[in-house]
A and B are shown apart, each in its own frame.
Chain A
Amino acid sequence: MITQTIALFVDAYRELNAKKLFWITMLLSGLVVLIYAAIGIDEEGVSILWFRIGFIPVTSEQIPPAMLYKSLFVNLGLGIWLTWIATVLALISTAGIIPEMISGGSIEMLLSKPISRTRLFLTKYATGLLFAGLQVAAFTTASFLVIGIRGGAWEPGLFLAIPLVVVFFSYLFGVCALVGVLTRSTIAALLLTLLFWFMCFVLNFGDAIVMGIRVSNEARVDAYTTSIETKRADTTKILTARHTNQGDPLPAGYVATDEDIIGLTPWASLVFEQRTKSEEMLDALRPWARGVYMAKTVIPKTGETIGLLERWLISMADLKTANQIDETHEAPKIDKDTGEIEMEDSEVSLRAQEVIRSRPVWWVLGTSLLFEGVVLGIAALVFRRRDH
């Protein structure tokens, strides 16, 4: 049993090894690592190789080197290279695995061996993940060394990228295998998988937009409320003092009403209006947010799976430091002519991060793997029942 599994994996490796694209991807991986290894940061600023980049006013005091390399790894290495470009290359290389396996002349050789069809199919599927696995392993190891040597932080957590990227790729490859079994065509498998991926991307994009609007409105409501409560406290103080002076003290524990606030500060009525507007916006958004969330629960969460690494690698506190937000941050300013509040982008994006991070890991991975399991189950069933 183990002999067969090893044989299938060795065969898959030989196939990859014979493909130029595999080594081209490996080479490009190396280049990406070299590029960000070339970026340096110290007390004086940012440099590329030996050249100082004067126009970027950031020093190692604002962004510690380890943080810089980690975020380069997460955003550039993982976010752009591995999960976009390298994934497309991996799909091009592996889309043919299943259609080629079931092509005439080749499938007879495999089915006539003492190995069950289900196991044959699933093992072959697993070998398809080898490309992604080897690429991300090499890339992560190189990045680990760069972050260690250049950034001075040895971060074993980086290696979590290997299972995460493989899992991410497996969602797509599952669809690819199903289309491959159904159509027996490499091109169809590749194109429909890319289409499916694009669909996931659109859904994620929609989710991000809905979430962005929601989060910024929530932040606004919070800010308006804070501002109103501050005013309320001030108004209470002023009214209490005024009434005491007039010999008509207010009852103990009196709290200024909304009318009191507006009576004292007329433009505050605009703030109330703005708050109501934001609240209405939130209500209108709720069904949309629910719909997108439900759709995302069914579909594999490609972006969020990769996002897990950032969650684990870069803490919320680190993010706040990088964005220079701390608890003593001054209250947002209110425009007295419109009552509108000036929100800082960084705060909104931090809130969005918090929402994303509050989505449980089981939801991100579990429901995605469930989807993959169903897709693979159908593919295996079709493969089992077919006459080849």
Chain B
Amino acid sequence: MSDQTLAPARASGGSEWAIDLAAVGKIYKGKIHALKGIQMRVREGEVFGLLGPNGAGKSTLVKILMTVIRPSQCKGTMLGEPVGSKHVLRRIGYLPEHHRFPGYLTGAQVLDFYAALNEVPRSVRKARIPELLELVGMQDWGTTRVSRYSKGMRQRVGIAQALMNDPDIVLLDEPTDGVDPVGRRDIREILAELKRRGKTVFLNSHLLSELEMVCDRVSILVHGEVARQGTIDELTAGQECYEIELAGEESAKQLAASLPGMVRFDETGAENAGLAKRVGGRGELATGEWVEVDHAMLRVGTTDAAAVQPIIDKVRAHGGVIKSIRPKRPSLEDLFMAAVDGGGAAPGAKSSKNPKRDMKAAAKGGDS
């Protein structure tokens, strides 16, 4: 990739936000609220991940940004210009989900055609096509018709196509869809390269492990609302812990019985009373760290190894057999599940009987 192909991103008029949405809403046919006043900010030069379950409104939001769908309500800017302005699209690269390129075009013609629609001059297109085909590893397939491509190849050409106009923001909707592990690694490398050049990358995906590897910040969309938003560190803040796994449920029971001096259990510990062996509960250490017991698992809310030692001593003194001890940080999947279920799955996350209220609270918390 030459420096001309993907030049460093241009500044967007002083604002540090590449995408700054204050309130984006969409009501389909007057009743289905697909998006409910989305508030979202994407910093310039970062890799931003939008995630959420099917039907959360991810694609609707992306399509609104790309003017494919007309929003019912829209306050927000992209590269400093109001969302919906056609003009600004010239500086944005886009790969839609389930895209279909005309089968009669070759890979190179696909790049040429869509770049021309982006008003990229002919000479520039000519120079970029081979470079971008090479970037996505398709240099030998440029003269083959798209109709003969595999899904992964179409995805690669699709990504090359999104870079033809040397965009400041690259918006990729499920870019690794149908791509094999090697291809996915290649795509991650391309994303890293884009970031290195200061491009803003907006990823829409449900492959959480993918996002976790590349994203600086994520936003979790549930039922048309932003449930969580922030860097992975921010979202997991206060949720890192040590996980102490005991051998057998019996020792856990003993443990539960022996800890009261140290841990004050909530009544919620009895919530699974139907299962005789089930032991669970939550409490607090005298030093302030939270403690959670779930079956044979004991979690201590601290990153400080020293703080865990007294607990280990206590457990061992009561005859508990320790299988493993490890520091744990919630994965994106944990966060995702927590957001979708409204808490519970993420260790340390406050469980709530009202997931909706939880999400709303998170949405209000918005960007940190």
Contacts and interface: CB of A to CB of B under 8 A. Distances in A.
A299 to B, nearest CB: 34
B89 A109 contact: no
Contacts of A17: 104
Nearest to B96: A108
Nearest to B119: A3
A312 to B, nearest CB: 38
A226 B94 CA distance: 80
B68 A113 contact: no
Contacts of A109: 94, 96, 99, 101, 114
The 8 A-B pairs of least Cβ separation, nearest first, read A7-B116, A105-B100, A18-B104, A108-B96, A112-B66, A113-B117, A387-B69, A111-B68
A344 B207 CA distance: 84
B63 interface: yes
Given A14-B105, A110-B117, A116-B86, A105 B96 contact: yes
B33 interface: no
Given A7-B117, A14-B105, A109-B101, 13 more contacts: A3-B122, A8-B117, A10-B113, A11-B113, A104-B98, A105-B99, A106-B100, A106-B102, A108-B68, A109-B99, A111-B67, A111-B68, A113-B114
Contacts of A385: 70
Given A3-B122, A7-B113, A108-B66, A113 B105 contact: no
A14 B100 contact: no
Contact of A108 (B99, B113, B122): B99
A3 B88 CA distance: 17
Contacts of B122: 3
A116 B102 CA distance: 21
Interface of A: 1, 3-4, 6-8, 10-11, 14-15, 17-18, 103-116, 385, 387-388
Contacts of B86: 114-116
Interface string B92-114: 10101011111011000100111
13 contacts: A3-B119, A4-B116, A14-B105, A14-B109, A17-B104, A103-B100, A104-B100, A108-B96, A109-B99, A112-B89, A113-B89, A113-B118, A115-B86
Contacts of A388: 63, 68-69
A114 B89 contact: yes
A4 to B, nearest CB: 5
B68 A114 contact: no
B102 A112 contact: no
B87 interface: yes
Contacts, number: 85
Nearest to B29: A387
B28 to A, nearest CB: 7
* Main SS at interface, chain A: helix
Interface string B139-180: 000000000000000000000000000000000000000000
A385 B109 CA distance: 30
A175 B335 CA distance: 53
B161 to A, nearest CB: 8
* Main SS at interface, chain B: loop
Nearest to A105: B100
B121 interface: yes
Nearest to B109: A14
A114 B117 CA distance: 7
A321 B69 CA distance: 64
Nearest to A18: B104
Nearest to A17: B104
B8 to A, nearest CB: 22
Interface in B46-91: 63, 66-70, 86-90
Interface of B: 28, 63, 66-70, 86-90, 92, 94, 96, 98-102, 104-105, 109, 112-114, 116-122
Contacts of B121: 3
Nearest to B161: A109
Contacts of A1: 119
A237 B153 CA distance: 100
Contact of B28 (A3, A104, A116, A387): A387
A262 to B, nearest CB: 80
Contacts of B101: 106, 109
A381 to B, nearest CB: 13
A18 B63 CA distance: 31
A12 to B, nearest CB: 10
B116 A3 contact: yes
A329 B45 CA distance: 91
B93 to A, nearest CB: 9
Contact of B98 (A10, A105, A112, A113): A105
Contact of A112 (B67, B87, B119, B120): B67
Contacts of B66: 108, 111-112
Contacts of B99: 105-106, 108-109
Contacts of B120: 3
Contacts of A387: 28, 68-70
A65 to B, nearest CB: 44
Contacts of B112: 7
Contacts of A116: 86
B250 to A, nearest CB: 57
A63 to B, nearest CB: 47
A77 to B, nearest CB: 30
A110 B109 CA distance: 15
A103 B99 CA distance: 10
Contacts of A11: 102, 105, 113
A112 B98 CA distance: 15
Nearest to B106: A14
Contacts of A3: 116, 119-122
Given A3-B119, A108-B66, A387-B69, A114 B96 contact: no
A67 B112 CA distance: 49
Nearest to A387: B69
Given A3-B116, A7-B117, A113-B114, A108 B63 contact: yes
B19 to A, nearest CB: 15
Contacts of A110: 117
A226 B168 CA distance: 86
Nearest to A15: B104
Nearest to B26: A387
Nearest to A2: B119
A1 B86 CA distance: 13
B243 to A, nearest CB: 44
A388 B100 CA distance: 14
Nearest to A112: B66
A114 B109 CA distance: 19
Nearest to B89: A114
